[in-house]
Amino acid sequence: MNGINVDINHLKKGEVNLGTSIMAVNFKDGVILGADSRTTTGSYIANRVTDKLTQIHDTIYCCRSGSAADTQAVADMVKYYLQIYSAQLPPGEKPTTNIAANVFQEICYNNKDNLTAGIICAGYDEKNGGSVYSIPLGGSIHQQEYAIAGSGSTFIYGWCNENYKPNMEQEQCIEFIKTALAEAIKWDGSSGGVIRMVILTKKGVERLIFYPDEYGVLTRKDDL
Protein backbone atom coordinates (compact mmCIF):
# COMPACT_ATOMS: atom_id res chain seq x y z
CA MET A 1 0.00 0.00 0.00
CA ASN A 2 1.53 3.33 -0.95
CA GLY A 3 -1.25 5.75 -0.20
CA ILE A 4 -2.18 6.25 -3.84
CA ASN A 5 -3.14 2.76 -4.87
CA VAL A 6 -5.00 1.22 -2.00
CA ASP A 7 -4.80 -2.54 -2.10
CA ILE A 8 -8.31 -3.72 -1.40
CA ASN A 9 -7.27 -7.34 -1.79
CA HIS A 10 -4.66 -7.24 0.96
CA LEU A 11 -5.97 -10.43 2.44
CA LYS A 12 -5.08 -13.65 0.69
CA LYS A 13 -7.94 -15.63 -0.77
CA GLY A 14 -9.70 -17.35 2.08
CA GLU A 15 -7.68 -15.60 4.80
CA VAL A 16 -9.48 -15.14 8.08
CA ASN A 17 -10.34 -11.52 8.75
CA LEU A 18 -11.26 -9.81 11.98
CA GLY A 19 -13.76 -7.47 10.37
CA THR A 20 -14.16 -5.87 13.67
CA SER A 21 -15.37 -3.32 16.11
CA ILE A 22 -12.89 -2.79 18.95
CA MET A 23 -12.25 -0.05 21.47
CA ALA A 24 -10.47 0.78 24.71
CA VAL A 25 -11.41 3.57 27.09
CA ASN A 26 -9.66 5.11 30.10
CA PHE A 27 -11.86 5.59 33.13
CA LYS A 28 -11.44 6.65 36.75
CA ASP A 29 -9.82 3.47 38.09
CA GLY A 30 -8.08 2.15 34.99
CA VAL A 31 -9.03 1.10 31.52
CA ILE A 32 -11.69 -1.03 29.83
CA LEU A 33 -11.27 -2.81 26.50
CA GLY A 34 -14.20 -3.94 24.43
CA ALA A 35 -14.70 -5.94 21.25
CA ASP A 36 -17.27 -7.76 19.17
CA SER A 37 -16.71 -11.47 18.52
CA ARG A 38 -17.16 -12.02 14.78
CA THR A 39 -14.43 -13.59 12.64
CA THR A 40 -15.13 -13.94 8.91
CA THR A 41 -13.71 -15.75 5.90
CA GLY A 42 -15.31 -13.84 3.11
CA SER A 43 -19.03 -14.06 3.74
CA TYR A 44 -18.72 -17.02 6.10
CA ILE A 45 -18.57 -16.42 9.84
CA ALA A 46 -15.64 -18.58 10.88
CA ASN A 47 -16.16 -17.92 14.57
CA ARG A 48 -19.05 -16.09 16.17
CA VAL A 49 -17.66 -16.06 19.72
CA THR A 50 -14.08 -15.00 19.07
CA ASP A 51 -11.99 -13.45 21.85
CA LYS A 52 -10.26 -10.45 20.26
CA LEU A 53 -8.99 -9.21 23.63
CA THR A 54 -5.62 -10.82 24.07
CA GLN A 55 -3.52 -10.77 27.22
CA ILE A 56 0.04 -9.50 26.81
CA HIS A 57 0.98 -9.26 30.46
CA ASP A 58 -0.83 -9.40 33.82
CA THR A 59 -2.72 -6.14 33.32
CA ILE A 60 -1.82 -5.30 29.73
CA TYR A 61 -4.17 -6.39 26.95
CA CYS A 62 -4.61 -5.66 23.29
CA CYS A 63 -7.58 -5.52 20.93
CA ARG A 64 -6.80 -7.09 17.57
CA SER A 65 -8.20 -6.12 14.18
CA GLY A 66 -7.16 -7.08 10.64
CA SER A 67 -5.77 -10.49 9.78
CA ALA A 68 -6.34 -12.97 12.57
CA ALA A 69 -3.11 -14.79 11.78
CA ASP A 70 -0.99 -11.63 11.66
CA THR A 71 -2.36 -10.12 14.85
CA GLN A 72 -2.06 -13.35 16.78
CA ALA A 73 1.56 -13.69 15.66
CA VAL A 74 2.39 -10.09 16.58
CA ALA A 75 0.68 -10.44 19.96
CA ASP A 76 2.71 -13.58 20.61
CA MET A 77 5.93 -11.76 19.78
CA VAL A 78 5.13 -8.83 22.05
CA LYS A 79 4.22 -11.25 24.81
CA TYR A 80 7.62 -12.90 24.40
CA TYR A 81 9.51 -9.58 24.44
CA LEU A 82 7.67 -8.53 27.56
CA GLN A 83 8.48 -11.76 29.34
CA ILE A 84 12.19 -11.27 28.64
CA TYR A 85 11.93 -7.67 29.70
CA SER A 86 10.03 -8.29 32.91
CA ALA A 87 12.40 -11.09 33.89
CA GLN A 88 15.05 -8.39 34.25
CA LEU A 89 12.89 -6.04 36.29
CA PRO A 90 13.41 -5.83 40.04
CA PRO A 91 11.24 -8.31 41.98
CA GLY A 92 7.60 -7.23 42.14
CA GLU A 93 7.91 -4.72 39.27
CA LYS A 94 5.77 -4.99 36.20
CA PRO A 95 6.22 -3.57 32.72
CA THR A 96 4.27 -0.45 31.79
CA THR A 97 1.64 -0.33 29.07
CA ASN A 98 3.87 2.14 27.28
CA ILE A 99 6.59 -0.50 26.89
CA ALA A 100 4.18 -3.05 25.43
CA ALA A 101 2.63 -0.54 23.04
CA ASN A 102 6.03 0.52 21.78
CA VAL A 103 7.03 -3.06 21.08
CA PHE A 104 3.79 -3.46 19.11
CA GLN A 105 4.64 -0.33 17.18
CA GLU A 106 8.20 -1.47 16.43
CA ILE A 107 7.04 -4.81 15.05
CA CYS A 108 4.11 -3.35 13.10
CA TYR A 109 6.29 -0.65 11.55
CA ASN A 110 9.23 -2.88 10.64
CA ASN A 111 6.92 -5.38 8.95
CA LYS A 112 4.34 -2.96 7.57
CA ASP A 113 4.59 -4.40 4.06
CA ASN A 114 3.66 -7.88 5.24
CA LEU A 115 1.14 -7.17 7.97
CA THR A 116 -2.53 -6.34 8.13
CA ALA A 117 -2.81 -5.45 11.78
CA GLY A 118 -4.65 -2.62 13.50
CA ILE A 119 -4.08 -2.89 17.20
CA ILE A 120 -5.20 -1.10 20.31
CA CYS A 121 -2.94 -1.74 23.26
CA ALA A 122 -4.31 -0.82 26.67
CA GLY A 123 -3.37 -1.63 30.19
CA TYR A 124 -3.07 -0.65 33.80
CA ASP A 125 0.24 -0.06 35.58
CA GLU A 126 1.19 1.45 38.92
CA LYS A 127 3.12 4.29 37.35
CA ASN A 128 0.64 5.61 34.79
CA GLY A 129 -2.67 4.07 35.84
CA GLY A 130 -4.77 3.19 32.82
CA SER A 131 -3.47 4.04 29.37
CA VAL A 132 -4.58 3.47 25.80
CA TYR A 133 -2.40 3.31 22.70
CA SER A 134 -3.64 2.93 19.16
CA ILE A 135 -1.30 1.33 16.58
CA PRO A 136 -3.09 1.58 13.20
CA LEU A 137 -2.13 0.04 9.87
CA GLY A 138 1.14 1.83 8.93
CA GLY A 139 2.81 1.18 12.29
CA SER A 140 2.44 4.57 13.95
CA ILE A 141 1.59 4.92 17.63
CA HIS A 142 -0.86 7.30 19.28
CA GLN A 143 -1.62 7.61 22.93
CA GLN A 144 -5.26 8.51 23.46
CA GLU A 145 -7.87 8.82 26.19
CA TYR A 146 -9.93 6.31 24.26
CA ALA A 147 -9.42 4.55 20.94
CA ILE A 148 -11.73 2.84 18.48
CA ALA A 149 -10.67 0.70 15.54
CA GLY A 150 -11.76 -1.96 13.06
CA SER A 151 -14.25 -1.79 10.22
CA GLY A 152 -17.19 -1.16 12.56
CA SER A 153 -15.54 1.80 14.22
CA THR A 154 -16.19 4.05 11.22
CA PHE A 155 -19.88 4.15 12.11
CA ILE A 156 -19.38 5.33 15.70
CA TYR A 157 -16.71 8.07 15.47
CA GLY A 158 -19.31 10.78 15.85
CA TRP A 159 -21.24 9.06 18.59
CA CYS A 160 -18.13 8.35 20.67
CA ASN A 161 -16.85 11.89 20.24
CA GLU A 162 -20.16 13.22 21.45
CA ASN A 163 -20.63 10.89 24.40
CA TYR A 164 -17.13 10.28 25.81
CA LYS A 165 -16.45 11.91 29.17
CA PRO A 166 -13.12 11.89 30.99
CA ASN A 167 -12.89 10.10 34.33
CA MET A 168 -16.06 8.06 34.04
CA GLU A 169 -17.18 5.70 36.76
CA GLN A 170 -16.79 2.02 35.93
CA GLU A 171 -20.49 1.37 35.31
CA GLN A 172 -20.75 4.51 33.22
CA CYS A 173 -17.75 3.43 31.12
CA ILE A 174 -19.12 -0.07 30.57
CA GLU A 175 -22.38 1.44 29.38
CA PHE A 176 -20.48 3.79 27.03
CA ILE A 177 -18.56 0.92 25.43
CA LYS A 178 -21.55 -1.36 25.28
CA THR A 179 -23.69 1.24 23.51
CA ALA A 180 -20.93 2.20 21.10
CA LEU A 181 -20.15 -1.38 20.12
CA ALA A 182 -23.82 -2.25 19.84
CA GLU A 183 -24.18 0.59 17.36
CA ALA A 184 -21.09 -0.52 15.44
CA ILE A 185 -22.31 -4.10 15.26
CA LYS A 186 -25.67 -2.91 14.04
CA TRP A 187 -24.25 -1.05 11.05
CA ASP A 188 -21.17 -3.07 10.21
CA GLY A 189 -21.76 -6.30 8.32
CA SER A 190 -18.55 -7.91 9.46
CA SER A 191 -19.02 -7.20 13.17
CA GLY A 192 -21.30 -9.17 15.35
CA GLY A 193 -21.78 -11.87 17.96
CA VAL A 194 -21.29 -11.05 21.61
CA ILE A 195 -19.62 -8.02 23.17
CA ARG A 196 -16.61 -8.89 25.28
CA MET A 197 -14.97 -6.56 27.75
CA VAL A 198 -11.89 -6.63 29.94
CA ILE A 199 -11.60 -4.28 32.89
CA LEU A 200 -8.05 -3.57 34.04
CA THR A 201 -7.58 -1.80 37.38
CA LYS A 202 -5.40 -1.88 40.46
CA LYS A 203 -7.49 -4.86 41.54
CA GLY A 204 -6.50 -6.86 38.47
CA VAL A 205 -8.49 -8.27 35.57
CA GLU A 206 -12.24 -8.65 35.26
CA ARG A 207 -14.01 -10.04 32.21
CA LEU A 208 -17.52 -9.27 31.02
CA ILE A 209 -19.66 -10.68 28.26
CA PHE A 210 -22.92 -9.31 26.80
CA TYR A 211 -25.25 -11.23 24.50
CA PRO A 212 -27.18 -9.84 21.53
CA ASP A 213 -30.53 -10.00 23.28
CA GLU A 214 -29.17 -7.72 25.99
CA TYR A 215 -27.12 -5.17 24.03
CA GLY A 216 -29.51 -5.26 21.08
CA VAL A 217 -32.11 -3.51 23.21
CA LEU A 218 -29.80 -0.52 23.58
CA THR A 219 -30.01 0.41 19.92
CA ARG A 220 -33.49 -0.84 19.24
CA LYS A 221 -35.17 1.48 21.71
CA ASP A 222 -33.96 4.56 19.80
CA ASP A 223 -35.18 3.21 16.48
CA LEU A 224 -38.60 2.27 17.59
Partner 1 sequence: MKSTNIYLTSIGTGYDLSNSVFSPDGRNFQVEYAMKAVENGGTSIGIKCKDGIVLACEKIINSKLLVPGKNKRIQTVDRHLGVVYSGLLPDGRHFVNRCREESQSFKSIFKIPIPVPNLLDRIGLYVQNYTCYNSVRPFGIVGIIGGIDDNGSHLYMVEPSGSFWGYSGAATGKGRQIAKSELEKLKFDDLNIKDAIKQAARIISLAHEDNKDKDYELEISWCSKEFTNGKHEFIPIELLEEAKKFAEEDEGDEDEDEEEGEGEGEGEGEDTEMN
- Does position 106 bind partner 1 by CB under 8 A? yes
Closest CA to 97 of 140, 130, 49: 130
Residue from the set 42, 48, 83, 93 that interacts with partner 1 by CB under 8 A = 93
Could you tell me the smallest distance in angstroms from the CB atom of residue 96 to partner 1? 8
- Does position 85 bind partner 1 by CB under 8 A? yes
Could you tell me the smallest distance in angstroms from the CB atom of residue 55 to partner 1? 19
Phi, psi of 183 (to 5 degrees): -65, -40
Q: Please state, as a whole number, how many other Cβ atoms lie within 10 Å of the Cβ of residue 193.
A: 19
Phi, psi of 116 (to 5 degrees): -120, 90
Could you tell me the smallest distance in angstroms from the CB atom of residue 191 to partner 1? 32
Whole-angstrom distance, CA of residue 72 vs CA of residue 58? 18
* 3-class secondary structure, 37: coil
Q: Which residues are catalytic?
A: 20
Nearer to partner 1, 90 or 158 (CB): 90
Residue from the set 98, 116, 131, 190 that interacts with partner 1 by CB under 8 A = 98
Residue from the set 41, 102, 144, 170 that interacts with partner 1 by CB under 8 A = 102
Alpha helices, DSSP H, located in the chain: 68-87, 97-110, 157-163, 170-187, 212-223
Could you tell me the smallest distance in angstroms from the CB atom of residue 91 to partner 1? 11
Nearer to partner 1, 51 or 106 (CB): 106
Q: At 104, which amino acid appears?
A: F
Binding site for partner 1 (CB under 8 A): 81, 85, 88-90, 93, 98-99, 102-103, 105-106, 127
